[in-house]
């Protein structure tokens, strides 16, 4: 019996014509379940009994970013954070909020940000990302 999560992950990988492997399935499922951007280490920690080498996870993430299924979130932290792109519009990711007190980061998935112009002084703008700092509800 395949779970809904399993089917979704399968579909996501197939949609990008990627080899369907156990490692990729697990990484995508971890990202599907997450409500915020995760690092390699966090993903590894959410794989249950399944274990994959960190190299595999890094390479999977790189592949998923390349085909546009995953976006990198910019967070005040040494490690890179990744999340599925399904909440993002073509030209803009949802914004992220990092609390300067507790350090936690939240996705403001339904906050509307006015998009910038597509052209600005010779620059051709394809994507836009916004980051907030301040106090989260728990710390305010």
Using CB under 7 A, list all residues that contact DNA: 18-24, 39-41, 51-56, 58-60, 62-63, 78-80
Choose among Zn ion, a copy of itself, DNA, none what residue 49 binds, the Cβ cut-off being 5 to 8 Å by kind.
none
The answer to whether residue 41 forms part of the interface with a copy of itself (CB under 8 A) is no
H or E element that contains 31:
helix 22-33
> Which of positions 64-93 make contact with a copy of itself (CB under 8 A)?
72, 74, 76
State the Cα–Cα distance between residues 108 and 97, nearest whole angstrom. 7
Choose among Zn ion, DNA, a copy of itself, none what residue 2 binds, the Cβ cut-off being 5 to 8 Å by kind.
none
**Residues 54/28, Cβ–Cβ less than 8 Å:** no
Neighbours of 22 (CB within 10 A): 10
Calculate helix-pair angle for 54-66, 22-33, nearest 10 degrees.
70
The answer to whether residue 71 forms part of the interface with Zn ion (CB under 5 A) is yes
**How do strand 96-99 and strand 81-84 relate by DSSP bridges?**
unpaired
Number of residues that bind a copy of itself (CB under 8 A): 31
Binding site for a copy of itself (CB under 8 A): 72, 74, 76, 95, 97, 100, 106, 108, 111, 113-114, 116, 120-137, 140
């Amino acid at each position: 019996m395949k779970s809904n999560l399993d089917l979704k992950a399968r579909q996501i990988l197939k949609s990008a014509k990627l080899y369907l492997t156990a490692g990729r399935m697990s990484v995508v499922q971890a990202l599907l379940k997450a409500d915020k951007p995760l690092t390699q280490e966090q993903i590894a920690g959410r794989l249950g009994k399944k274990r994959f080498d960190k190299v595999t996870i890094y390479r999977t993430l790189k592949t998923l970013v390349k085909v546009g299924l995953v976006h990198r979130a910019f967070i005040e932290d040494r490690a890179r954070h990744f999340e599925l792109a399904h909440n993002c519009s073509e030209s803009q990711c949802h914004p992220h909020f990092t609390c300067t007190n507790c350090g936690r980061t939240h996705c403001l998935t339904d906050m509307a940000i006015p998009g910038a112009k597509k052209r600005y002084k010779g620059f051709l703008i394809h994507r836009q990302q916004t980051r907030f700092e301040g106090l989260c509800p728990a710390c305010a």
